[in-house]
Structure 1
Amino acid sequence: MKKMFSGSVCSYCLAGILLLTCTIAYAAAPPKKGKALHTYLSQYENVLGTSMELKVSTYTQVRATEAEKTALAEIKKLSEILSAYDKESEFSKWQKTCGQPVPVSNELFEVMQLFDVWRNRTGGALDASAEIVTRLWKKAASTNRVPTQQELNNAVAEIKQTHWVLNPKTRTATHLDNAPLMLNSFVKSYIIKHAVNEAMKPGDVKAVVLNIGGDIVVSGDVTENVLVKDPKADAENEAPIASLRISDKAVATSGNYRRGELIGGHWYSHIVDPRTGLPADDIISATVVAPDAADAGALATAFNVMSLPESVQLASTMPGVEYLIVTRDGKQQTSKGWGSLKAAYKENGIVGNLNTKTGNREAGGNSFEMIINLEINTQKEGFAKRPYLAVWIEDTMHSPVRTVSIWHGSDRYMPELKSWYLKYRTIYNSDMNFKSSTSSATRSAGKYTLKWDGKDDKGNYVKPGKYIVKIEAAREHGTHQLMRQEIDCDNTPKQINLPGNIEISSVSLDYHKN
């Protein structure tokens, strides 16, 4: 799975006793008669090193904001316990000890217990000491070579050692060696579930959907549409390989298509098999739906490492688990109950086609496409709210041609994107992405790739000629930035780099044959 904890996080004030008492009293009170439920959306960058989307179904913006703060506080708390990237975390400090029983928090003890369970359950395919192999490959890649067989053998031998001993009676953990350890795999999903549980505690919060870097927990009175990203599609806005309807379950996806090492012109996955020391490359993506979030996260990672027969056998022992596994050649393996989760895929309200076999691309029509790479400025420390963002195409008469992508709060905040809204307010009913969540391998914070396939909003290919790419970023009652770039779409490849601004650090346009 993707690197989970990047940098430090911002601090939150502790609520006083009086405020806590008032909050409890408010939570117990039923909503006023006639109040309607609304879904409130918040979007962040740099949460556990990636992006975050939180949807809260409740009666007021005040309550939604309180749920948001509660979820973020729980994420901060658990990251300060479990992160191996934060030198001041409880886990990092424990790693500095050796040979002595150390009392640890309930959360750290539970996660370490789960690693013991999953190490045994997967026959060693999941192991916190897989970091030994990960570091070996990174070091070798820095000199553009692959590790030697002897180096791999030594790493695997070290992984097979016992690295800690837990004592349930005293709630202590004894560190036995100095092997590097990393609590990845399912820990992001574990944190998400705890954050959702905290946000759901007030009685008038009816549902919460939390998506951090493609791992999702859906809880409460809601059915969420979840799109599963095609691992062979570069852009965020390309058709998914699955569209699901999820209620009171967790979804996790792990894959090798976002992170790895390029050595001698060959791509090596960042997901490694602790049993062999080799990158796992037979499986390129695994998506798991499960009642428990930690189970979903652990299985998604394990299915990238284990063989298909091993994965099918393991899933059969766990009730309520469904999966979609994509092999290197693009074939899809699904569980028997996967079909019961399927839903129609809609793009801007129009039923679209799924990439039922990954790697297939539409033939005919326009043979050129445009890739838009953009990076949002994110603060180095703390959770950063993502600005509303719209990317669209206009013709030289400034008539709207195609909305490539749009990220915002609920539909009522669309007017904050002033330029986009001016063009689209009468023809764009609702952004389906607001009503969906996307499960994918974890991306780096703030980095997005979009694609314009040369079609207009009605799905027709446009004629060759000059068009204007517009990128707008805005914050509610705050900064507003608009970028414009004319480009001649004349079937001649070209690349253009745009200067950044206060919200977007960089943009590149790559017009090429698809």
Structure 2
Amino acid sequence: MNIAKSNVSSSKEEKMAFRYFPNYSRVIAAAMVASIVQPALANEYSFQADHVLGTEVKMTVEASSQEVAQFAWEQARSEISRLEKIFSSRDSHAELAVLNDRKSLEVSSELSELLTACKAWHEKTNGALHCGMGKLVKVWKNSEKSGVLPSDSEIKPLLDAVALNNFIDIKSNSFVQLSEGVELNVDAVAKGKIIDKASQAALAIDGVQGVVLNIGGDIRTLGKLSESAVKVGVSSGNSADNSTPDDLVRVANAAIATSGAGQRDFNISGQTYSHIVSPFNGRPQEIVDYVSVIAPSAEEADALATAFSVMGISQSLLYANTHEGIETFIFSKGGTLFKSKGWEGLRVPVEVITAAEAGVENPWAPDWKMRVKYSVPEIDISDYEYPYIVAWVTDAENKPVKHLLMLGDSPRWIEENYVHWRRVGRKQPAVIDHVARPTKPPGVYDIEWDGVDDHGRPVEQGEYILHIEASREHGGHQYVKLPVNLSNTADVWTVDPGSELGKISIDFSKTKSS
């Protein structure tokens, strides 16, 4: 497993709360950037690594010293690695993969515990959460390659196999037997369980008071953090990649997980289908765009976020409203927002700085935004790596105003975009911490700016410069500099494809009311 060098930072002082929070996998760990009240004798230390469980991991530790925090981070990483070697279905040597291959096996206590949890969640959700969907998921992945939708004759026998209630038979001696035609895919439960176990391993270190662990946007808070709470932002599927969260909620000694549209979705002949395959009909779910769930543990949050994607909105809300500690935030395919009864009680007000408070005489009119649509093209080379991209806005004198996007958050790659690094990045490391996120695969993406600077203050109408820079390991470098007039007059600009990015389109206009 390719593990990036960890990035460590510390602060003894209370960190400023920013108006904007990074939108990572649609859930934003504002705990990493929001105001945190420090318990006595504890400092805050942050760690990050890429390529962990196929995504990025971030952890904040409140501890007595950097040495203690570093050890807690190492313990968490060790636990993640240990459990991944058991739960992975992609590593042929992992215990779960061996079980899938042999169909029967005497398993470890860890895998037995996971599979028991899978069976329990299958029962609790009336079959909506199913850990035996491996073959059906593969059918849809194969359709991506062929460009042909699966036929009913392909789906039905696999659906019949997973319809059996006892698809996993666990004996008293941890001997496991899978039903004929069943292949396990435990991602919906395993990731949350790993987050829980790793968080507990870190908190168990003497001198550690609190832990926030974020793996791919699923977040667990544990211990003494911000008066036993952290702030987490939740965004809808209709949001731009860098948009302000639709909601900020307090997650205290609990977890939040999100499931929905994203890079894992199936793209078949130009049509996008949800990567969540319903165990009820063997086809991608068509009910919701995004589901966020707050629960006492990451396992619960992770499992229910997947289950609520196929249960139906009324049944999902009923489940949340009748189970203590469970809250949910659901965006339907039609764009309607639904919240469980207790969600409002967890919301945290967002401080907004007015133009008058900022001393701005001529701010942008309400609902006006600059929207940038950019594309990452597919490049057919053997050692292709996703590009590292940074987008920022300066005033007419090139003074930095707003960072819009930074893809590639290891320090080494931030410096690869040398125009930004030399002029802005090395002078503002705190901003980099707040907006950096992992690189993205080929596709079309959106970012936006609503006329607020990096410190949450409104800006004046007038002349600005949009900068976009991209570089790639084993590849080239591209830098775009585009003057834009952002007043109360709608305008559009386009930039032709370059060596690393496809066509870039910029639109400045008033947001259309829904």
| CA distance in 1 between partners of 2:116 and 2:436 (Å) | 31
AA aligned to 1:191 is: I
TM-score (norm 2): 0.74
Q: Give the match for residue 165 of structure 1.
A: 169
Q: Give the match for residue 191 of structure 2.
A: 188
Q: Give the match for residue 325 of structure 2.
A: 320
| CA distance in 2 between partners of 1:372 and 1:335 (Å) | 36
| CA distance in 2 between partners of 1:243 and 1:433 (Å) | 19
TM-score (norm 1): 0.74
| CA distance in 2 between partners of 1:78 and 1:351 (Å) | 48
Among residues 296, 301, 325, which one is paired with 1:296 in the alignment? 301
Give yes or no for the alignment of 1:451 onto 2:447: yes
Q: Which runs of 5+ in 2 are unaligned?
A: 6-38, 356-364, 383-387, 486-490, 510-514
Indicate if the aligned counterparts of 1:470 and 1:482 stay in contact, CA closer than 8 A. Answer: no
Change (3 A) 1:234 1:76: same
* 1:171 CA drift (Å): 2.1
Give yes or no for the alignment of 1:234 onto 2:234: no
| Structure with higher RCO (Cα < 8 A, 6+ apart) | 1
| CA distance in 2 between partners of 1:36 and 1:309 (Å) | 47
Among residues 245, 248, 267, which one is paired with 2:250 in the alignment? 245
| CA distance in 2 between partners of 1:351 and 1:65 (Å) | 40
Give yes or no for the alignment of 1:333 onto 2:332: no
| CA distance in 2 between partners of 1:405 and 1:444 (Å) | 12
Q: Give the match for residue 484 of structure 2.
A: 489
Identity %: 23
| CA distance in 1 between partners of 2:366 and 2:328 (Å) | 30
AA aligned to 1:459 is: P
* 1:496 CA drift (Å): 5.0
Please show how residues 18-167 of structure 1 align to structure 2 within 5 Å. 36-98=41-103, 100=104, 102-161=105-164, 162-167=166-171
Query: Aligned with 2:188: secondary structure?
Result: coil
Indicate if the aligned counterparts of 2:237 and 2:290 stay in contact, CA closer than 8 A. Answer: yes
Q: Give the match for residue 369 of structure 1.
A: 371
| CA distance in 2 between partners of 1:351 and 1:184 (Å) | 44
| CA distance in 2 between partners of 1:423 and 1:294 (Å) | 40
* 1:154 CA drift (Å): 2.4
| CA distance in 1 between partners of 2:88 and 2:128 (Å) | 21
Residues 325-376 of structure 1: per-residue CA shift (max 9 Å, x gap): 1111222221111111100235xx8499xxxxxxxxx97535x52245679x
Query: Aligned with 2:180: secondary structure?
Result: coil
Q: Give the match for residue 403 of structure 2.
A: 403
Post-superposition, which runs of at least 4 consecutive aligned residues in structure 1 deviate over 6 A? Answer: 406-410, 442-448
AA aligned to 1:106 is: S
Counting matched residue pairs gives 438
* 1:499 CA drift (Å): 5.3
**CA RMSD, 1 decimal:** 4.1
Please show how residues 475-486 of structure 1 align to structure 2 within 5 Å. 484-486=479-481
* 1:297 CA drift (Å): 0.8
| CA distance in 2 between partners of 1:93 and 1:206 (Å) | 39
Query: Aligned with 1:279: secondary structure?
Result: coil
| CA distance in 2 between partners of 1:46 and 1:351 (Å) | 40
Residues 137-160 of structure 1: per-residue CA shift (max 9 Å, x gap): 233343333222333322311222
Indicate if the aligned counterparts of 2:161 and 2:179 stay in contact, CA closer than 8 A. Answer: no
Query: Aligned with 1:177: secondary structure?
Result: coil
Query: Aligned with 1:398: secondary structure?
Result: coil
* 1:423 CA drift (Å): 6.2
Among residues 242, 249, 261, which one is paired with 1:256 in the alignment? 261
| CA distance in 1 between partners of 2:354 and 2:185 (Å) | 42
